[in-house]
Amino acid sequence: MRVGAILRGLEPIMRVGAIDCGTNSIRLLIADASTETVNGRTVTRLNDVVRQMRIVRLGQGVDATGWLAQEALDRTFEATREYAKLLRKHKVKKLRFVATSATRDAGNRQVFMDGIRDILGIEPEVITGDEEAELSFAGAVLAVGADESKTVVFDLGGGSTEFVLGTEDGVQAARSVNIGCVRLTERHMASAPATPDQIQRVEADTDAAIDSVLQSVPLEKATRAVAVAGTATTIAAAALGLKTYDSEVINGSSISVDTVQKTAEMLRSMTREERAALGYMHPGRVDVIGAGATIYARIMTRLHEITEGNIDSVTVSEHDILDGIALSQVR
Question: Which burial class, exposed, middle or buried, applies to 140 when counting CB atoms under 10 A from its CB (0-12, 13-18, 19+)?
Answer: buried
Whether pLDDT at 7 is above 60: no
Give the separation between CA 19 and CA 6, rounded to whole angstroms. 22
Q: For residue 179, which of 151, 199, 207, 200 has the smallest C-alpha distance?
A: 207
pLDDT band at 6 (very low <50, low <70, confident <90, very high): very low
Residue 38's pLDDT is what?
64
Whether pLDDT at 44 is above 80: no
Give the separation between CA 149 and CA 154, rounded to whole angstroms. 16
Lowest-confidence range among 71-80, 89-98, 313-322?
313-322
Q: Average pLDDT over the chain, rounded to whole?
A: 90
Mean pLDDT of 188-210: 96
Question: Which burial class, exposed, middle or buried, applies to 6 when counting CB atoms under 10 A from its CB (0-12, 13-18, 19+)?
Answer: middle
Mean pLDDT of 304-328: 93
Residue 141's pLDDT is what?
81
**Cβ of 118: how many Cβ atoms within 10 Å?**
10
What is the model's pTM?
A: 0.83
pLDDT tens by residue, 293-305 = 999 999 999 999 9
Give the separation between CA 32 and CA 15, rounded to whole angstroms. 4
pLDDT band at 4 (very low <50, low <70, confident <90, very high): very low
Query: Using an 8 Å Cβ cutoff, are 165 and 68 in contact?
Result: no
Mean pLDDT of 142-171: 84
pLDDT band at 29 (very low <50, low <70, confident <90, very high): very high
Amino acid at 23: T
Mean pLDDT of 38-63: 84
Query: Using an 8 Å Cβ cutoff, are 112 and 68 in contact?
Result: yes
- Please report, rounded to a whole number, the percentage of residues in the chain having pLDDT higher than 70: 92
Mean pLDDT of 87-114: 90
Residue 2's pLDDT is what?
38
Whether pLDDT at 37 is above 50: yes
Lowest-confidence range among 5-14, 72-81, 129-138, 196-205?
5-14
Domain architecture of the chain: domains with CATH? 14-129+322-328 (3.30.420.40), 144-319 (3.30.420.150)
Give the separation between CA 162 and CA 136, rounded to whole angstroms. 8
pLDDT band at 23 (very low <50, low <70, confident <90, very high): confident
Residue 104's pLDDT is what?
80
**Cβ of 53: how many Cβ atoms within 10 Å?**
17
Residue 148's pLDDT is what?
67
Q: What angle do CA 154, 36, 171 make, to 5 degrees?
A: 25
